[in-house]
Amino acid sequence: MRLLLSLRELLNRSSFQKIRLPVILFALTVLLLGSVAVYQVIGDRIHVRGTIISLFLKQPDQIHLAWDGNSANSINLRWHTRRIYTPSVVGYRQLGESEWKMAVGHQNFSGSNGARHEVELRNLLANSTYEYRLKGDRLQGFWSDTFELRTSPPIGESDFDAIYFADTGLIGRRDGLGTGVEKIIEAIAAQHPLLTLAGGDYAYYNTDKRYGSLEASIDVWLNQMAPVFTRSVVMPTYGNHETQLQENMTPWANRFAIPDNALNRGNYSFDVGNAHFVSVFAVFEQQGLEPQALDWIRQDILAAQAAGQTWIIPFMHVSAFAEGASHPSNLALRSQLGPLFESLGVKLVLSSHDQAFERTYPLVDVPEKNRPTSQSKTCYTMEDGVTWLKTSPSGKESNKSGSFSIFKADPSPWVAVRDNTMHVFTKLHFSAENLAVETFGVRGDGQPPVVLDSFEYTQNQCAA
Task: Please report, as residue ranges, which positions from 351 to 370 form the binding site for Fe ion (by CB under 5 A).
Answer: 353
Task: Please report, as residue ranges, which positions from 269 to 308 form the binding site for Fe ion (by CB under 5 A).
Answer: none
Q: Which is nearer to Fe ion, 110 or 243 (CB)?
A: 243
From CA 358, how far away is CA 385, in angstroms rounded? Answer: 17
Phi and psi at 418, nearest 5°, equal -150, 155
Contacts of 275 (CB under 8 A, 6+ apart): 158, 162, 309, 310, 311, 312, 313, 428, 430
**E strand or H helix at 315, and its extent?**
strand 311-315
Amino acid type, 54: S
Given a contact cutoff of 8 angstroms between Cβ atoms, the answer to whether 220 and 211 are in contact is yes
Residue range at the interface with Fe ion (CB under 5 A); choices 139-147, 193-201, 359-367, 383-391 = 193-201
DSSP characters over 325-359: SSS---HHHHHHHHHHHHHHT--EEEE--SSSEEE
Residue 117 in the binding site for Fe ion (CB under 5 A): no
Q: Which is nearer to Fe ion, 196 or 240 (CB)?
A: 240
Which residue in 112, 240, 420, 426 binds Fe ion (CB under 5 A)? 240
Q: Which is nearer to Fe ion, 168 or 240 (CB)?
A: 240
Q: Which is nearer to Fe ion, 387 or 392 (CB)?
A: 392
Residue 396 in the binding site for Fe ion (CB under 5 A): no
Residue range at the interface with Fe ion (CB under 5 A); choices 9-17, 119-127, 146-154, 349-357 = 349-357
**E strand or H helix at 265, and its extent?**
none
User: Strand 45-54 vs strand 35-42: parallel, antiparallel, or unpaired?
Assistant: antiparallel
Residue range at the interface with Fe ion (CB under 5 A); choices 19-27, 136-144, 198-206, 218-226 = 198-206
Residue 201 in the binding site for Fe ion (CB under 5 A): yes
Residue range at the interface with Fe ion (CB under 5 A); choices 118-126, 233-241, 250-258, 442-450 = 233-241
Which residue in 239, 324, 362, 372 binds Fe ion (CB under 5 A)? 239
Residue range at the interface with Fe ion (CB under 5 A); choices 125-133, 187-195, 345-353, 372-380 = 345-353
Q: Which is nearer to Fe ion, 105 or 239 (CB)?
A: 239
SS3 state at 226: helix
Residue 68 in the binding site for Fe ion (CB under 5 A): no
**E strand or H helix at 76, and its extent?**
strand 75-81
Q: Which is nearer to Fe ion, 239 or 273 (CB)?
A: 239
- How deeply is 402 buried, as exposed, middle or buried, from its count of CB atoms within 10 A (0-12, 13-18, 19+)? exposed
Q: Which is nearer to Fe ion, 201 or 300 (CB)?
A: 201
Rg (Cα) of the chain, in Å, rounded?
25
Considering the complex, what minimum distance in angstroms separates the CB of residue 201 from Fe ion?
4
Residue range at the interface with Fe ion (CB under 5 A); choices 67-75, 126-134, 231-239, 424-432 = 231-239
Compute the Cα dihedral for 296, 247, 196, 349 and give only its sign: negative
Q: Interface residues with Fe ion (CB under 5 A)? A: 201, 239-240, 353
